[in-house]
């Protein structure tokens, strides 16, 4: 079952059970999916495209959590945390740091990367290798920079 179909099914279940944080989050996610469908003129999105939308929504929620906590608005921060947890449940598991380090080492050797000027090349290859996986770009960037410096 594709991720898009799973989200639609879960949305229907959330409507029946009136599960509020789940329902509002899935409605927003479905709206993002619908927007992407109309923009592309497609009938269905691939799982990778849906994951990109989920990651984008998750990043928005985490940024909002930080801002609300700085403004001492714990009520709004808690709401965003609930939505972020719902979105995280649809993402694949995080790629372990050891696996990222191994891939960085292999790619640095392949490209004969020697210094900070090669960071972009290495980053591009590493991110392409983990395409479709749940990987944090800032974590990869930190590992690549430490390896090349």
Q: Computed from CA positions of residues 31, 36, 38, 41, in that sequence, does the dihedral angle turn out positive or negative?
A: negative
Same domain, residue pair 14 and 67: yes
Look-up of token digits 């050891």? 98
CA neighbours closer than 13 Å in the CB half-sphere of residue 122: 30
Same domain, residue pair 75 and 109: no
User: Tens digit of pLDDT for each residue in 31-59?
Assistant: 999 999 999 888 888 888 898 899 899 99
Distant-in-sequence, close-in-space partners of 81: CB < 8 Å, separation ≥ 6? 61, 65
User: Tens digit of pLDDT for each residue in 58-70?
Assistant: 999 999 999 999 9
Same domain, residue pair 85 and 104: no
Read off the DSSP letter of residue 91: S
Q: Do the Cβ atoms of 108 and 148 come closer than 8 Å?
A: yes
Domain at 125, CATH number = 1.10.10.410
Q: Which residues, listed in sequence order, are joined to residue 134 by a DSSP beta bridge?
A: 94
pTM recorded for the entire structure: 0.77
Q: What range does the domain containing 134 cover? A: 97-148
Q: How many domains does the chain have?
A: 2
Same domain, residue pair 80 and 129: no
Domain at 49, CATH number = 1.10.1510.10
Same domain, residue pair 77 and 102: no
Last residue of a domain, one of 90, 107, 125: 90
User: Tens digit of pLDDT for each residue in 119-149?
Assistant: 888 888 888 888 777 788 888 888 888 888 8
Q: Computed from CA positions of residues 66, 91, 132, 93, in that sequence, does the dihedral angle turn out positive or negative?
A: positive
Last residue of a domain, one of 40, 73, 90: 90
Same domain, residue pair 67 and 103: no
Same domain, residue pair 86 and 102: no
Q: Which two tokens stand for residue 11?
A: 């949305």
């Amino acid at each position: 079952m594709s991720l898009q179909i799973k989200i639609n099914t879960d949305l229907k279940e959330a409507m029946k059970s009136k599960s509020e944080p789940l329902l509002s989050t899935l409605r927003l996610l479905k709206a993002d999916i619908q927007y992407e469908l109309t923009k592309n003129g497609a009938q269905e999105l691939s799982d990778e495209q849906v994951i990109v939308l989920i990651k984008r929504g998750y990043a928005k929620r985490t940024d909002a959590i930080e801002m609300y906590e700085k403004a001492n608005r714990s009520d709004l921060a808690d709401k965003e945390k609930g939505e972020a947890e719902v979105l995280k449940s649809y993402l694949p598991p995080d790629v372990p740091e050891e696996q990222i380090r191994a891939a960085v080492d292999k790619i640095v050797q392949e490209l004969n990367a020697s210094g900070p000027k090669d960071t972009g090349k290495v980053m591009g290859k590493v991110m392409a290798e983990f395409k479709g996986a749940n990987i944090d770009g800032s974590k990869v960037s930190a590992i690549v920079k430490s390896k090349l410096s």
